[in-house]
Amino acid sequence: MMKSARFIPVGLIVLIAATLLVGCKAGGDNPGREYAPNMYHSVAYEPLIQIMDEDAGRWVNSSDKDRGEYYNSNNYNPFKMNMRLPAPNTVRRNVHGWLPYRAGNDTTSLRLANKLVNPYEASPAILEQGKVLYEIYCKHCHGAKGMGDGKVADKYPGVANLKGDAIKGVTEGHIFHVITYGKGLMGAHGSQVNEEERWKIAKYVKELQKN
């Protein structure tokens, strides 16, 4: 067997290799040939779509599941739904039942925000949580002590000194509103910090201003 293998024509070997390479080429609707294809093509989970066809993506399924990789319906739901959309015109409340903060980004809304009352008391736990959040989102600009001397302030002069006379007298509602929409050099953080966290930061800032 080993002796006869030496006489396989070189042309035949080249033809076999070329055929294998052509078979691996992908294009159009042809996915080509791949080893463990689901390692190359990750399937993102989309909760708001329903793929009911159990054969969808069967070609990329290398597990022992008897259905395609793309099948994503919930078999425990009578309608095989993954996520139920809220009813039209409904408003999401947080775990405390608070409605979203909907004040506008204008001078009138900022003035009215001065009357907002922080729902949190200045307990050690709330202040500690506020400190952690402050160090994540605020310290790099305003500094550890709120003096406007964070590392960003070296590059962008004019960062607010939270202990300065212009800011020391503002209310927690004012701080909450400014965190939400931004003011001056400060950008809006409403999409990064939720309402509960904004109130905790405001509480901690007022604590900083006492020292």
- In angstroms, rounded to a whole number, what is the distance separating the alpha carbons of residues 22 and 27? 11
Phi-psi region of 117 (alpha: psi -120 to 50; beta: other; left: phi over 0): beta
Beta bridge partners of 30: 27
Rounded to 5°, the CA angle 51-54-55 comes to: 110
- In angstroms, rounded to a whole number, what is the distance separating the alpha carbons of residues 209 and 211? 5
- In angstroms, rounded to a whole number, what is the distance separating the alpha carbons of residues 181 and 184? 10
Write down the pTM of the prediction: 0.62
Return the pLDDT at 188.
94
Do 136 and 73 touch, CB atoms closer than 8 A? no
**Where are the chain's structural domains?**
31-87, 107-210
DSSP class of residue 160 equals: -
Residue 204: burial class (beta carbons within 10 Å; 0-12, 13-18, 19+): buried
CATH number of 107-210: 1.10.760.10
88-130: per-residue pLDDT in tens?
888 888 888 898 999 999 999 999 999 999 999 999 999 999 9
Identify the three-state secondary structure at position 150: coil
Torsion, Cα 151 157 161 164, to 10 degrees, reads: 150
Do 130 and 204 touch, CB atoms closer than 8 A? yes
Return the pLDDT at 13.
81
Do 179 and 162 touch, CB atoms closer than 8 A? no
Rounded to 5°, the CA angle 204-208-211 comes to: 150
- In angstroms, rounded to a whole number, what is the distance separating the alpha carbons of residues 187 and 179? 8
Return the pLDDT at 55.
85
Return the pLDDT at 80.
79
Mark the ranges of the chain whose per-residue pLDDT is less than 50: 1
Tokens representing 37?
């294809």
Return the pLDDT at 39.
66
Return the pLDDT at 1.
46
Residue where the block lists tokens 């050099």: 185
Q: What amino acid occupies position 5?
A: A
